[in-house]
């Protein structure tokens, strides 16, 4: 007997609830319980057999009520916290349950069905009563029940016909049918005091209504898509909403002096990816919210980002400094630069005043005045050392070392650097534990770059450096990593100098991307003979660069091991946080943003007017400090680090996973790397651990512009992905470093036209013996088949065979070799398996062991021959195919849109010398819906299939028959992809994708 166990599930979460120090989140039929302070998962408990949990309510008595579709269940919290399943408590009813609540005694349950009826039943699952109001039969998309007392309970129901029906579920008396929305109502709730009704709709608005009069009070606009869920909090003074637009918004319910009620949008949080935030709850004592979304993420949100510890956004004009802080300012005097420190801030004015801001007392004081800094100054500093460096354009510098509290200048150094008559840029970085480094650049392009190493204690010059400046080089950032000076320049160029060598020649990495300023350089990791650092570019690109260095710090070569672009305006800097996540920051329209790029969520944002202003950003232990000038006023924003984890679950894709591929040829750490390609146009590179079963995502690749069709590893370190618009990308995986794997776009396939509109439906690869070159077959939505040769030395694809099947779309392709012949097996949407013999057409020879040999011929393009054979297996499109060559036969497993699965065996007909196929095994009604994917596993003796009906099946195929041995329901809707891997212990892992992702274990 074989067995399947579900190990990990990640998919849409439809509802979340706080209770004491827990967060309860529904994942399909499961309830996952977290401690929100630590992020620890307390338990995962199966609540329903198949149906998804759409809502939960927690009673005072310690019972939990969960419902979804036609299922409802009441179970003790103590069991939910400990047990694997409470499914035995599940009840089923005849109609969809829109909402459910305990009654006042908590001995009975009220259930609002989609036909606007209330079913009352008790904890022994006995029906007690059915309540309804006559004549209202329109189907409901939403509704809720509010219980005030034994004899006071209301149902509020939102219909598809734009109405909101309010009725007393005890007396069955209808109060109002509120019309005003345009479009279906997706949620409607009553306030805790029972005075207000809030509803949200297809029309993207939120409306407040007076419960007593039924009068429409106000409409809140802001969301850019449908709104799914609402919740009142703060004694009904606030409302929180979540939407299809990925945001969570906080509204204040304000009452004007005339008594008019208004909804004022207070805060917008971009909480989830691509589409749909489904659930939200608020923990008022902590002032935090939790949201759940289609991407499977559980996000914790700070509801008081700018007021948690007081006033976290402060603004000061120079005039105010004169009046309130007694620092006399001249007319027209301006802030010219500033640097955040632990104690607060040091700023310089256009008249050379050096000011100190103490963030504890919120007071400003004048430290000194240096008239040399009048009109032009560049301000930098080393925050850890309390050192500020200010330069003017005449190569004059002021270096200050300040006391812990910033109130006194411990050391002051005024320098004039004689080697340069003028400076246009001055950059500062940490040199080592004891010193800092100042880089000065002259406006004259023929002048060399000058460097100064200063002691942190004495501020005396330890060493001076001169570096040759490459052509067209304009400094924009500086960093010192392991005796290497790395200077970022305009035109996406980086110059590297060895500080130990006499000769200060530059190792230049030119034009990494399209060509904006390099804004920052971050050290990532060190290898025996190499270094990895990341650079950010203002236009949104960031790159991870590996440089190979000798013992004498000679740079041999460099390699860009990762490159990606953020779709968020200007990218100004990056760092690696304590969880090893890659954090970036910059400007997007009028906002400054701080974004976790590894996990794909925003950490904070601040309205500041945009990138074109003076600003500075520094990280401290518990907070970040952003300082910027807007309208001549200096603003200081303290961004507190949330004391709880930002996510309780990171989530995966916001939309359907279209393909999964495991890098099965080689393990990684204690598990395997895998890629998921999604309808959201992204590819994620993730890892699953075979012991803990945890999933960890490293990167989100954004290079595709349309939804993914396929992705597949073709070797240890190469992966190919395809999508519409004729996109086929070849990726290189790099797992040499300890820190994280990297996957970089190596090449893309040439397209047949400038504005391609064909979809590359599938591909197949056959390597050329003893090389990393390969032959690639691509099939298209217009019936085209192309064979390419990839030359790894040149990193180029060359078209070698081209042709067309008929006019219908092609869906799957596989190369197979058999009897020293190379075949390409293709399936179209007409239900045939089509076999092309391309042995003659391809200009590579086949060895006796059926491998391709490069015979160094000049490759020319040839025509695709007519197919050798074809056989009709399915009624309509073949959705997936897997192939196997065994004992001189070719076995083709196909699954179809016709709910069927087939095994077709091809053998060489000795008289015609051609392959002939017969369908050996065919199951007509294998599933109730399209069978979307299949994969051979367990040493090719089993076949896994997935179908949209969510029944996963496993067939034993060892006897050339399809013998069903396992079937199991998956909670992943729109099930569309799978991959498998056999482990050394004889078990296999099955990865199943759709709207979400599941990891299963199969054992014999």
Partner 1 sequence: MGKSSKDKRDVYYRKAKELGYRARSAFKLLQLNEQFHFLDDPNLKRVVDLCAAPGSWSQVLSKTMFKGIKESEVTEDDERKIVAVDLQPMSPIDHVTRLQADITHPRTLNKILELFNNSKADFVCSDGAPDVTGLHDLDEYVQQQLIMSALQLTTCILKEGGIFVAKIFRGRDINLLYTQLGYLFEQVICAKPRSSRGTSLEAFIVCIGYIPPKGWQPKLDENISVQEFFQGLKTDSKNQPRVIERYYEEERNIAEFMSCGGLQSFDSDATYHYDVVAALSDVSLDPVQSPTSPAYKKDS
Half-sphere exposure in the Cβ direction for 346 (13 Å, CA): 32
Q: How far is the CB of 231 from partner 1 (least distance, A)?
A: 19
Q: How far is the CB of 934 from partner 1 (least distance, A)?
A: 16
Q: How far is the CB of 774 from partner 1 (least distance, A)?
A: 26
For residues 906 and 835, the answer to whether their CB atoms sit within 8 Å is yes
Q: How far is the CB of 405 from partner 1 (least distance, A)?
A: 55
- The nearer residue to partner 1, 782 or 956, going by C-beta atoms, is 782
Buried residues in 907-934 as b, exposed as e (16+ CB within 10 A): ebeeeeeebebebbbbbeebbeebbbbb
Cα distance between residue 958 and residue 940, in whole Å? 8
Cα distance between residue 7 and residue 284, in whole Å? 34
Tokens representing residue 390 in the block? 């200010």
Q: How far is the CB of 221 from partner 1 (least distance, A)?
A: 11
- The nearer residue to partner 1, 223 or 568, going by C-beta atoms, is 223
DSSP code string of 21-85: TEEEEEETTEEEEEETTTTEEEEEEE--SSSPP-EEEE-TTSEEEEEETTEEEEEEHHHHHH-SB
Q: How far is the CB of 59 from partner 1 (least distance, A)?
A: 18
Buried residues in 282-294 as b, exposed as e (16+ CB within 10 A): bbeebbbbbbbbb
Q: How far is the CB of 950 from partner 1 (least distance, A)?
A: 5
DSSP SS3 for 812: strand
Q: Which residues contact 324 (CB under 8 A, 6 or more apart)?
A: none
Q: How far is the CB of 966 from partner 1 (least distance, A)?
A: 17
- The nearer residue to partner 1, 398 or 931, going by C-beta atoms, is 931
Q: How far is the CB of 122 from partner 1 (least distance, A)?
A: 10
Cα distance between residue 501 and residue 484, in whole Å? 10
Q: How far is the CB of 73 from partner 1 (least distance, A)?
A: 8
Comparing CA positions, the residue from 879, 876, 919 lying closest to residue 895 is 879
Cα distance between residue 829 and residue 838, in whole Å? 22
What are the residues facing 800 on neighbouring strands? none
- The nearer residue to partner 1, 808 or 859, going by C-beta atoms, is 808
Q: How far is the CB of 967 from partner 1 (least distance, A)?
A: 12
- The nearer residue to partner 1, 136 or 210, going by C-beta atoms, is 136
Tokens 């050394």 label which residue? 984
Cα distance between residue 808 and residue 727, in whole Å? 20
DSSP SS3 for 591: strand
Half-sphere exposure in the Cβ direction for 886 (13 Å, CA): 13
- The nearer residue to partner 1, 538 or 879, going by C-beta atoms, is 879
Q: Which residues contact 660 (CB under 8 A, 6 or more apart)?
A: 674, 675, 676, 677, 711, 977, 978, 979, 991, 992, 993, 997
- The nearer residue to partner 1, 482 or 924, going by C-beta atoms, is 924
What is the number of other CB atoms lying within 10 angstroms of the CB of residue 901? 29
Tokens representing residue 239 in the block? 């409302």
Cα 385–390–394 angle (5° rounding)? Answer: 145
- The nearer residue to partner 1, 275 or 401, going by C-beta atoms, is 275
Q: How far is CA 189 from CA 99, 170, 192, 198, in A?
A: 11, 18, 9, 5
- The nearer residue to partner 1, 17 or 54, going by C-beta atoms, is 54
DSSP code string of 609-675: S-SSS-EEEEE-SSEEEEEEEETTEEEEEEEEPPSS-SEEE----SS-EEEEEE-TTS-BTTEEEEE
Q: How far is the CB of 876 from partner 1 (least distance, A)?
A: 4
Q: How far is the CB of 83 from partner 1 (least distance, A)?
A: 17
What is the number of other CB atoms lying within 10 angstroms of the CB of residue 385? 17
Q: How far is the CB of 276 from partner 1 (least distance, A)?
A: 6
DSSP code string of 314-344: EEE-HHHHHHHH-----TT--EEEEEEETTE
What is the number of other CB atoms lying within 10 angstroms of the CB of residue 554? 11
Q: How far is the CB of 50 from partner 1 (least distance, A)?
A: 8
- The nearer residue to partner 1, 736 or 806, going by C-beta atoms, is 806
- The nearer residue to partner 1, 220 or 305, going by C-beta atoms, is 220
Tokens representing residue 801 in the block? 């065979």
DSSP SS3 for 733: strand
Q: How far is the CB of 549 from partner 1 (least distance, A)?
A: 50
- The nearer residue to partner 1, 605 or 899, going by C-beta atoms, is 899
- The nearer residue to partner 1, 13 or 519, going by C-beta atoms, is 13
- The nearer residue to partner 1, 108 or 630, going by C-beta atoms, is 108
- The nearer residue to partner 1, 140 or 382, going by C-beta atoms, is 140
DSSP SS3 for 398: strand
Q: How far is the CB of 978 from partner 1 (least distance, A)?
A: 17
- The nearer residue to partner 1, 91 or 287, going by C-beta atoms, is 91
DSSP SS3 for 589: coil
Phi and psi, residue 492, nearest 5°: 50, 45
- The nearer residue to partner 1, 360 or 753, going by C-beta atoms, is 753
Comparing CA positions, the residue from 240, 196, 194 lying closest to residue 217 is 196
């Amino acid at each position: 007997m074989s067995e399947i166990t579900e190990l990990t599930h990640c998919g849409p979460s439809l509802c979340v609830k706080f209770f004491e120090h827990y967060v309860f989140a529904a994942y399909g039929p499961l309830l996952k319980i977290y401690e929100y302070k630590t992020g620890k998962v307390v338990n995962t408990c199966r609540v329903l057999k198949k149906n998804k949990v759409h809502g939960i309510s927690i009673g005072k008595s310690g019972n939990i009520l969960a419902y979804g579709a036609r299922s409802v269940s009441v179970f003790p919290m103590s069991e939910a916290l400990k047990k694997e399943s409470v499914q035995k408590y599940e009840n089923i009813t005849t109609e969809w349950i829109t909402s459910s609540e305990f009654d006042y005694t908590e001995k009975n349950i009220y259930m609002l069905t989609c036909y606007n009826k209330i079913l009352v039943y008790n904890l022994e699952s006995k029906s007690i009563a059915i309540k309804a109001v006559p004549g209202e039969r329109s189907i409901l998309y939403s509704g809720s029940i509010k219980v005030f007392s034994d004899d006071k309970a209301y149902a509020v129901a939102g219909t598809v016909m734009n109405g909101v029906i309010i009725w007393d579920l005890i007396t069955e008396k209808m109060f109002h049918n509120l019309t005003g929305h345009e479009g279906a109502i997706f949620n409607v709730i009553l306030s805790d005091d029972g005075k207000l009704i809030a509803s949200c709709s297809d029309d993207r608005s939120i409306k407040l209504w007076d419960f007593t009069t039924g009068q429409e009070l106000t409409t809140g606009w802001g969301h850019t898509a449908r709104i799914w869920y609402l919740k009142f909090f703060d004694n009904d003074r606030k409302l929180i909403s979540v939407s299809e637009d990925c945001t969570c918004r906080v509204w204040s319910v304000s009452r004007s002096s005339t008594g008019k009620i208004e909804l004022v949008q207070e805060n917008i949080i971009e909480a989830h990816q691509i589409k749909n935030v489904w659930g939200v709850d608020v923990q008022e004592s902590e002032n935090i919210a939790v949201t759940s979304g289609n991407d499977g993420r559980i996000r914790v949100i700070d509801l008081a980002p700018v007021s948690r510890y007081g006033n976290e956004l402060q603004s000061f004009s120079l005039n105010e400094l004169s009046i309130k802080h007694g620092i006399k300012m001249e007319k027209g005097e301006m802030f010219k630069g500033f640097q955040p420190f632990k104690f607060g801030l040091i700023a310089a004015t256009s008249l050379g005043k050096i000011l100190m801001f103490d963030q504890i007392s919120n007071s400003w004081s004048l430290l000194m005045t240096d008239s040399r800094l009048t009109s032009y100054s560049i301000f930098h500093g080393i925050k850890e050392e309390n050192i500020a460096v200010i330069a003017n354009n005449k190569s004059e510098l002021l270096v200050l070392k300040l006391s812990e509290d910033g109130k006194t200048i411990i050391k002051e150094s005024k320098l004039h650097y004689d080697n340069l008559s003028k400076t246009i840029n001055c950059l500062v970085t940490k040199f080592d534990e004891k010193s800092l480094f100042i880089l000065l650049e002259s406006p004259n392009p023929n002048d060399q770059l000058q460097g100064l190493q200063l002691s942190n204690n004495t501020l005396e010059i330890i060493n001076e450096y001169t570096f040759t400046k490459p052509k067209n080089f304009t400094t924009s950032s500086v960093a010192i990593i392991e005796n290497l000076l790395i200077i970022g320049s305009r035109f996406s160029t980086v110059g590297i100098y060895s500080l130990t060598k006499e000769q200060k020649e530059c190792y230049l990495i030119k034009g990494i991307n399209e060509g904006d300023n390099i804004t920052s350089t971050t050290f990532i990791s060190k290898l025996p003979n190499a270094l990895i650092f990341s650079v950010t570019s203002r236009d949104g690109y960031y790159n991870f660069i590996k440089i190979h260095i000798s013992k004498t710090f000679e740079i041999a070569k460099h390699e860009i091991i990762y490159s990606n672009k953020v779709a968020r305006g200007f990218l100004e800097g990056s760092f690696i946080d304590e969880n090893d996540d890659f954090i970036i920051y910059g400007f997007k329209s009028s906002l400054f943003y701080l974004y976790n790029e590894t996990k794909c969520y925003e950490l904070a944002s601040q309205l500041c007017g945009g990138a074109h202003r003076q600003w500075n950003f520094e990280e401290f232990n518990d907070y970040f400090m952003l300082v910027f000038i807007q309208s001549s006023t200096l603003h200081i924003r303290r961004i507190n680090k949330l004391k709880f984890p930002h996510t309780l679950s990171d989530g995966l894709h916001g939309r359907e996973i279209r393909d999964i591929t495991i890098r099965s040829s080689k393990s990684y750490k204690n598990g395997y790397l895998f890629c998921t390609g999604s309808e959201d146009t992204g590819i994620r590179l993730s890892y699953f651990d075979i012991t803990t079963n945890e999933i960890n995502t490293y990167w989100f690749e954004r290079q595709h512009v349309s939804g993914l069709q396929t992705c597949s590893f073709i070797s240890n370190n190469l992966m190919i992905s395809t999508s519409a618009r004729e996109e086929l990308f070849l990726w290189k995986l790099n797992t040499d470093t300890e820190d994280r794997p990297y996957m970089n776009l190596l090449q893309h396939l040439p397209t047949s036209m400038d504005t391609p509109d064909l979809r590359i439906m599938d591909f197949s690869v056959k390597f050329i013996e003893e090389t990393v070159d390969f032959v690639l077959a691509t099939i298209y939505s217009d019936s085209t088949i192309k064979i390419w040769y990839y030359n790894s030395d040149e990193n180029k694809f060359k078209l070698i065979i081209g042709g067309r099947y008929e006019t219908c779309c092609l869906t799957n392709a596989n190369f197979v070799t058999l009897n020293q012949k190379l075949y390409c097996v293709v399936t179209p949407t007409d239900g045939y398996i089509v076999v092309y013999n391309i042995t003659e057409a391809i200009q590579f020879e086949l060895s006796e062991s059926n491998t391709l040999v490069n015979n160094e011929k000049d490759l020319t393009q040839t025509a695709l021959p007519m197919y050798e054979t074809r056989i009709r297996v399915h009624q309509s499109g073949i959705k997936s195919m897997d192939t196997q060559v065994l004992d001189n036969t070719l076995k083709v497993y196909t699954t179809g849109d016709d709910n069927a699965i087939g095994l077709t065996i091809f053998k060489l007909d000795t008289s015609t010398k051609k392959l002939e196929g017969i369908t050996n095994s065919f199951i007509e009604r294998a599933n109730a819906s399209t069978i979307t994917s299949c994969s051979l596993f367990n040493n090719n003796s089993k076949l896994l299939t997935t179908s949209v009906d969510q029944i996963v099946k496993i067939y034993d195929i060892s006897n050339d028959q399809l013998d069903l041995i396992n079937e199991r329901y998956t909670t992943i809707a729109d099930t569309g992809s799978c991959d498998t891997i056999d482990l050394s212990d004889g078990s296999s892992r099955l990865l199943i994708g759709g709207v979400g992702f599941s990891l299963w274990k199969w054992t014999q």
